[in-house]
């Protein structure tokens, strides 16, 4: 797993992918932060979290789309699958590499917290909780992206499908069918709905369980997908 | 060393490999010969565990590749038809990654081993260059080097000389011959003379079945040519007007 993690990280930072992702994310998030700070006169970072999530949904496929699609297109998966490593090690190595790039981009927003702490008035608990929610959200998005990348050998298809799925899951809480049961189910699967308590400063166990279990589910599906391909 | 028993692979109704059986002895170079699409790569992919086996079994040193894939894979170095190269890496970074990936344990250091492998396939001079900037011949050799990492007992080489110029072909053949003492080698090709130049024994595959199996001493070019050319035209006939 370590070898794969190292190679993926090297790949993110020897090609432009990692830098572009982190750079564009920092630019956009800082833009929204300064607007919040100077125009709306709000000295906290929790307000920009929903915006960060939207930016993340638009940018994260850039780092997840290549994870397996590229291996298949370049036939380098032959090396991985004929080496004495388990499929789970391959998947986890790749997942943690992409997740680490996401964490670096998240860490790059920490200066905003210091700025807000100096000139604004931030609630530590609320900030911490919203960051926890944001990281869990990112963990799930990365897993969804990785799974979709396992389905195809075309990176563009992987990215577009990831947009489709994540945007649907994000905005599904806006859907209103009028039928209580259907709305309840849709809301249950909404990745934004579960983040609301975090942004209010509450680390709800149910939210943590939701994000972690769905992340785990998508990692498991990715492993199954890679294993099942050999049987076709 | 390698026992292959009634190996089959089906894709839907189509049988890509149909009940192939052969053995490879320790220290032997076995040539898999056959036209394109005969099932050579499929057979090799099954031996290395890349794709599943529909029926039959492959034993590597007595280890079943389906029952104990981790143990079997440790003994095999594989060069697929298209070398699995990460083009943004340098040759050294790539081989170092393969070393870690295969969890190699040898009584020499990682650096020494990689230097050794680089020397074997004569690519020491390009070790710090990015793979994407190398010529096809060099890329092929980097792929070859990758298979040699970890000193696997068995080497499986899928058309290692395809697309190379005549000099490079001679070099690769020399490398293969030089490896004979330490490794057991299965090597596929569709070039008849190559088999005679390199292999101890030859298995000819056509349309997923074994058409002929012979030791080197028994190989007679004329006879092989007859089989080979018969294989190539089988399945269609030409009328005078078509030519």
- Asked if B5 reaches chain A (Cβ–Cβ under 8 Å), the answer is no
- Is there a contact between A10 and B93 if contact means CB atoms under 8 Å apart? yes
Cα A164 to Cα A142, A161, A218, B98, distances in angstroms? 14, 5, 16, 36
* Chain A environment of B46 (Cβ under 8 Å): none
Q: Residues with Cβ < 8 Å from A160, sequence gap 6 or more? A: none
- Asked if B16 reaches chain A (Cβ–Cβ under 8 Å), the answer is no
Optimal mutation site among B85, B86, B96, B97, interface A, most CBs of chain A within 10 A: B86
* Chain A environment of B11 (Cβ under 8 Å): 232
Residue (of B37, B52, B47) closest to B3 by Cα position: B47
State how far residue B243 is from chain A, nearest Cα, in angstroms: 38
The token duo for A117 is 């702490």
- Cα separation of B154 and B151, whole Å? 9
- Specify the domain boundaries for CATH 3.40.50.300 within chain B: 1-75+155-160+183-237, 79-152
B2-11/B55-60 β-pairing: antiparallel
CATH of B79-152, one of 3.40.50.300, 3.90.650.10, 1.10.760.10, 3.40.50.1370: 3.40.50.300
In this structure, whether the domain defined by B1-75+155-160+183-237 belongs to CATH 3.30.470.20 is answered with: no
**pLDDT per residue as tens digits for the range A75-99:** 999 999 999 999 999 999 999 999 9
**pLDDT per residue as tens digits for the range A94-125:** 999 999 999 999 999 998 888 888 877 788 88
Geometric angle at alpha carbon A115, from A112 and A116, rounded to 5°: 85
- Asked if B87 reaches chain A (Cβ–Cβ under 8 Å), the answer is yes
| ipTM (interface predicted TM) | 0.88
Instruction: Kindly tell me if the per-residue pLDDT of B242 is higher than 70.
Output: no
How many percent of chain A have pLDDT more than 90?
Answer: 61
Q: Count CB atoms within 10 A of the CB of residue B222.
A: 6
Q: Residues with Cβ < 8 Å from A19, sequence gap 6 or more? A: A13
- Asked if B146 reaches chain A (Cβ–Cβ under 8 Å), the answer is yes
Average pLDDT, integer, range B2-22? 89
State how far residue B50 is from chain A, nearest Cα, in angstroms: 6
Optimal mutation site among A82, A90, A230, interface B, most CBs of chain B within 10 A: A82
**pLDDT per residue as tens digits for the range A122-139:** 888 888 999 999 999 999
């Amino acid at each position: 797993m370590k070898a794969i993690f190292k190679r993926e990280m090297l790949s993110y930072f020897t090609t432009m992918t990692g830098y572009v992702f982190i750079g564009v994310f920092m630019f956009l998030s800082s833009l929204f932060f300064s607007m919040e700070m100077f125009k709306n006169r709000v000295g906290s970072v929790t307000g920009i979290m929903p915006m960060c999530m939207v930016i993340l949904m638009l940018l994260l496929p850039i780092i997840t789309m290549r994870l397996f699609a590229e291996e298949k297109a370049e036939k380098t998966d032959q090396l991985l699958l004929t080496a004495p490593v388990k499929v789970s090690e391959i998947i986890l190595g790749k997942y943690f590499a992409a997740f680490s790039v996401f964490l670096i981009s998240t860490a790059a927003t920490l200066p905003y917290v210091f700025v807000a702490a100096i000139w604004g008035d931030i609630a530590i608990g609320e900030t911490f909780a919203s960051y926890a929610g944001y990281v869990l959200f990112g963990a799930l998005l990365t897993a969804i992206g990785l799974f979709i990348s396992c389905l195809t050998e075309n990176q563009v298809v992987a990215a577009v499908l990831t947009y489709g799925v994540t945007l649907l899951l994000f905005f599904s809480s806006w859907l209103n069918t009028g039928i209580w049961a259907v709305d309840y189910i849709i809301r249950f699967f909404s990745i934004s709905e579960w983040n609301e308590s975090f942004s209010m400063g509450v680390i709800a166990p149910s939210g943590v369980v939701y994000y972690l279990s769905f992340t785990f589910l998508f990692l498991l599906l990715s492993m199954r997908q890679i294993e099942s391909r050999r049987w076709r | 060393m390698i026992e292959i028993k009634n190996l089959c692979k089906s894709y839907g109704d189509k049988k890509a490999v149909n009940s192939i059986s052969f053995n490879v002895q320790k220290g032997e170079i076995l040539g898999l010969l056959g036209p394109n699409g005969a099932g050579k790569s499929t057979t090799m992919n099954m031996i290395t565990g890349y794709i599943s086996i529909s029926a039959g079994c492959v034993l590597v040193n007595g280890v079943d590749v389906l029952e104990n894939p981790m143990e079997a894979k440790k003994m095999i170095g594989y060069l697929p038809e298209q070398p699995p190269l990460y083009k943004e890496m340098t040759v050294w970074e790539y081989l170092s990654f393969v070393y870690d990936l295969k969890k190699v344990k040898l009584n020499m250091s990682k650096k020494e081993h990689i230097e050794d492998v680089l020397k074997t396939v004569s690519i020491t001079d390009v070790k710090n260059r990015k793979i994407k900037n190398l010529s096809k011949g060099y890329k092929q050799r980097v792929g070859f080097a990758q298979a040699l990492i970890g000193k696997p007992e068995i080497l499986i080489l899928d058309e290692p000389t395809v697309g190379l110029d005549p000099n490079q072909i001679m070099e690769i053949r020399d490398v293969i011959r030089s490896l004979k003492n330490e490794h057991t080698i299965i090597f596929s090709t569709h070039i008849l003379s190559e088999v005679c130049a390199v292999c101890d024994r030859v298995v000819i595959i056509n349309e997923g079945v074994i058409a002929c199996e012979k030791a080197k001493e028994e190989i007679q070019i004329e006879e092989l040519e007859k089989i080979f050319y018969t294989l190539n035209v089988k399945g269609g006939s030409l009328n005078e007007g078509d030519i």
